[in-house]
Structure 1
Amino acid sequence: MARFDFTDHSTGTIGASFTPSADVLFQMGILCASGRDGAVDLVAAHMYLNLADRGGAEDAAYHRQQVAAQMTKLEIAKALRAAREWIAFH
């Protein structure tokens, strides 16, 4: 099982929002796309890769396109909506 290190203590405030790095989001997208830790979830993979690309991860856009090629338009719309909600929350 993959392990992610979310221990960035730089904010130091109670209730501070946490935003994982682009590299962590990229790895989460790859895990969701590959199904290594469970079932393949292309919607989640697209969402994480989209967020990683937004954060500056180098290969995220390429992998997002590869995932999108396997999805329906409805699934892509759902992934984009989820990414917008994630941004609003974090």
Structure 2
Amino acid sequence: MAFTDVETRQVHEAINTDPTGDDLCKLGLLYSTGQGGVIDYVEAHKWFNLAALMGSEPAKHYRKEVSSEMGSEDIAAAQRAAREWLSTRH
């Protein structure tokens, strides 16, 4: 799935307001495919994990795929980053 510049900007703006699971899943896709400028599996896993927590079924699938490309230390880092992000939302 390719994102336009407008969609990319909207997704980044959404995380600062009231993001949906779909918004967070899109952000994961941006990082996992490099459409955000760089491939970053730790960031992708973080956003897929958060999206999955919000009920996004596709995010669960993508998180599993990304996990297969990561080591346990990177997965742990992504999980920590997700918890940190959640702690700033409340």
TM-score (normalizing by structure 1): 0.82
| Percent identity for Structure 1 against Structure 2 | 37
SS at the partner of 2:9?
Answer: coil
Aligned length: 81
CA-atom RMSD in angstroms = 1.7
Counterpart residue identity of residue 10, structure 2: F
Tell whether 2:10 aligns with 1:4.
Answer: yes
Between the two structures, name the one with larger relative contact order (CA 8 Å, sep ≥ 6): 1
CA distance in 2, matches of 1:22, 1:47: 12
Q: Map residues 38-57 of structure 1 onto 2, 5 A cutoff.
A: 38-57=37-56
Unpaired stretches in structure 1, ≥5 consecutive residues = 8-16
SS at the partner of 2:57?
Answer: coil
Give 4+ residue runs of structure 1 displaced > 3 Å after superposition. none
CA distance in 2, matches of 1:66, 1:58: 13
Unpaired stretches in structure 2, ≥5 consecutive residues = none
* Structure showing the higher helix proportion among its residues: 2
TM-score (normalizing by structure 2): 0.82
Higher-Rg structure is 1
